[in-house]
Structure 1
Amino acid sequence: MINKLRRGFKSLFSSLAHWARDYHDEQLLATGALLSKQQYLMNSSNIHDYEFKIFSQFGDDGIIQYLIKHVEIENETFIEFGVEDYMESNTRFLLLNNNWSGYVMDGSANAMNRLGGQSWYWKHALEKKAAFIDKNNINELLSYSGFSNLGLLHIDLDGNDYYILETIDFERYNPSILVLEYNAVFGKERAISVPYDPTFVRTKKHYSNLYFGASLPALTHEAERKGYKLVACNLAGNNAYFIREDLMTDRFKALTAKEAFVESKFRESRAEDHSLSLLSGEKRLELIKGLEVFNVISKQTEKL
């Protein structure tokens, strides 16, 4: 009898938790829809003024809403990878608010299973795949989406981002908007990335959690080679926004990496015991100084 009661209470609490989460998401979506519509009333030339956060980590939901209003989109499709379980991501609001079709990937099968169990998953054209991405498999993995001429591509791997950007078949995927995560700790002067490692995991590569990805100049260098112009970074200083060159209009100004660079202020550094050490500013760079980086222009290995 007691076990039956326990199971009953467990089921009740689980149902209440699901209801509360769904209600919370509905309220967020309603707020986001209002904020998105409000952008039509604004007349600022500063993309930062359009930032707002619904499901993104920072203000990226607002930036993306602004861009899709002013960039020609052939297909309302997106690909994002490195999404964990997708609860906090840069394309979830695009999926739920604008009803775009999407394809997401993450290296964790458990995370992708949690995504598949969400109450709203069946309501939208979202495909998912659990996979650890490297240069040898990225284009095969992307091909499962069935997409071409994307509306938006977002790369967020916390590791080999530069090399994956370099390898992707842009002739096929040809996104109108390209979103790239950069490592602001690497600064705005050097076009550098961590050296390529197909097994790269940020939290294992260096205890600090600061040694990952590529600098904004490195990513901008490769994006420009592929025909994209840098138009903004978010205020948080971790995501950069590029528009395909043939879709640029007078509304947007092409920026250099130095012009667009925003220094991150969030404090995610770790001590050797894996606890948060909360370093900021130049102290972050000092912690990883001397580690090897790859200069994407000279193609030489250097030291931080």
Structure 2
Amino acid sequence: MNKYNLIDFRKNHFSQFGEDGIVEKILSECRIDGGWFVEFGAWDGQHLSNTRWLADNGWSGIFIEGDPGRYSVLEDTYRKSDRVHTCEAMVTASGPSSLDSILASTPIPKDFDVLSVDIDGNDYHVWEGLVEYSPKVVIIESNATFPFNVEFIQRENDCLGSSALSLYQLGCKKGYSLACYNDINCIFVREDLFSYLSLIESSYAFLFHLGRHGGSGGFFVSDYKGVWDWLLPQEIGWGYNDIRIPAEYIEPHQLGLTKAARILYRLIRRGRASFPFTKSPHQILLDRSHHYRIVQESDELLPLFQAHKKRG
């Protein structure tokens, strides 16, 4: 049997970072031919969608979008469809706008096939709150600026997002195995189907580094509003250890320490950089987190490098 890395199957029909091709390979290997999908925020049902290609190939599904303008376009697109349902809602982790509650009003089966979550922040909490349904494949966005060994779960309703490691840990708790990471999204497969895949390597650390081509390099973390924060005070090469840098002044590809220092110096001279001296970068992240910890001990790091083993 030929083994493979799912990242090599990246292909975009409508998706942004190759998710269409990766999911297509997973569905083929798991012998899933047709079924149900759910995607939120769905935008207009086409723009950077991870499931539009499924809808175009005869699948049934549910698009959920909270922005009224985008939803109007989405609704018009599928108004006459008897397979694809649309819903205008801001999905929350619990209550009447939770995913469980929204899906309960639809004909979707409990073990539907593909769930795509991309809401720039609350992704972790919404997936954690999904308890009545067990999708076979889950595509969920991480904050790609966190290094592989950072546990970070944002506070609900912030816009920072959660780290890949915390999403990986949540997936394990919910009965899923990480199948691919593409530097933005973690793609999980339900444990009972994971054996259908023939991955070359299945450890979290391998999949993370295989999929990563950018990010912060371990020095910075950014929220979805474009503010970059230093991650570790001891990694900073000069006295100030609580500098915040607006992303509109420094592009992600410029974030080498030497270049960042030069640019920051120029910004300070021009009076365009602000310094919240009252808080350390560690405290800033703590304030915005439900949970934040850097995994550094070898006995905790080792399992992240070990190949997948069937749980339970």
Percent sequence identity over matched residues?
25
> Residue 276 and residue 265 in structure 1: after superposition, are their counterparts in 2 closer, same or farther (change >3 A)?
farther
Aligned positions of 1:6-25 closer than 5 A? none
Matched, 1:213 2:161: yes
Q: Distance in 2 between matches of 1:63 and 1:265?
A: 19
Matched residue SS, 1:102: strand
Query: What residue identity is the alignment partner of 2:153?
Result: S
Once the two structures are overlaid, the 10-residue window that deviates more, 67-76 or 274-283, is: 274-283
Distance 1:302 1:49 in 2: 31
* Residue 135 of structure 1 pairs with residue 128 of structure 2: no
Q: Does 1:68 align with 2:27?
A: yes
Take 2:34 and 2:207, find their aligned partners in 1: how far apart are those partners?
28
1:275 and 1:132 mapped to 2: Cα distance?
Answer: 28
Is the 8 Å Cα contact of residues 27 and 33 (structure 2) preserved in structure 1?
Answer: no
User: SS at 1:150's partner residue?
Assistant: coil
Which of 270, 273, 278 is matched with 2:251 structurally?
278
**Among candidates 25, 47, 50, match of residue 9 of structure 2:** 50
Query: What is the CA–CA distance in structure 2 between the aligned matches of 1:59 and 1:126, rounded to whole Å?
Result: 23
TM-score by length of 1: 0.69
Please give the per-residue CA displacement for 1:174-211, whole angstroms capped at 9, x wherever unaligned. Answer: 111111111111221012121223xx4x3xxxxxxxxx
- For residues 93-120 of structure 1, what are the alpha-carbon distances to aligned partners after superposition, in whole Å with 9 as ceiling and x for unaligned? 1110x211110112102111111223x6
Residue 71 of structure 1 deviates from its aligned partner by 1.2
Distance (Å, rounded) in 1 between the aligned partners of 2:192 and 2:287: 30
Paired position in structure 2 for 1:154:
116
What residue identity is the alignment partner of 2:149? Answer: E
2:124–2:167 contact (8 Å) kept in structure 1:
yes
Q: CA deviation at 1:252?
A: 3.3
- Displacement of 1:249 after TM fit? 2.0
Task: List aligned pairs for 1:31-42, cutoff 5 A.
Answer: none
User: Aligned residue for 1:224?
Assistant: 172
The 5 Å alignment of 1:248-287 reads 248-249=194-195, 251-253=197-199, 255-261=202-208, 262-263=211-212, 265=214, 270=226, 275=248, 277-280=250-253, 282=255
- Mind listing any 5+ residue stretches in structure 2 that lack a counterpart? 217-223, 228-244, 265-279, 295-312
Superposition RMSD on alpha carbons, in Å?
Answer: 3.5
From the superposition, tell whether residues 52 and 300 of structure 1 become closer, same or farther in structure 2 (CA, over 3 Å).
Answer: closer
1:184 has 2:144 as partner: yes
Per-residue deviation, 1:282: 5.0
Matched, 1:84 2:43: yes
Q: How many angstroms apart in 1 are the aligned matches of 2:195 and 2:254? A: 35
CA–CA distance in 2 between the matches of 1:150 and 1:56? 20
**Is the aligned partner of 1:238 residue 2:196?**
no
2:252 is paired with a residue whose SS is coil
Is the CA contact (8 Å cut-off) linking 2:151 and 2:293 kept in structure 1?
no
Contact preservation (8 Å) 2:153, 2:291: no
Could you tell me which residue of structure 1 aligns to residue 275 of structure 2?
Answer: none
SS in 2 for 1:260: helix
Extract unaligned runs of 5+ from structure 1: 1-42, 203-211
Question: Quick check: 1:114 aligned with 2:73?
Answer: yes
Q: For the structure 1 residues 93 and 75, does the alpha-carbon distance in structure 2 shift closer, same or farther, using more than 3 Å as the test?
A: closer
**What TM-score do the two structures reach when normalised by structure 2?**
0.67
* Contact 2:151 2:163 survives alignment (8 Å): yes
Q: Could you tell me whether the CA contact under 8 Å between 2:146 and 2:215 is conserved in 1?
A: no
Q: C-alpha separation between the residues in 2 aligned to 1:185 and 1:289?
A: 15
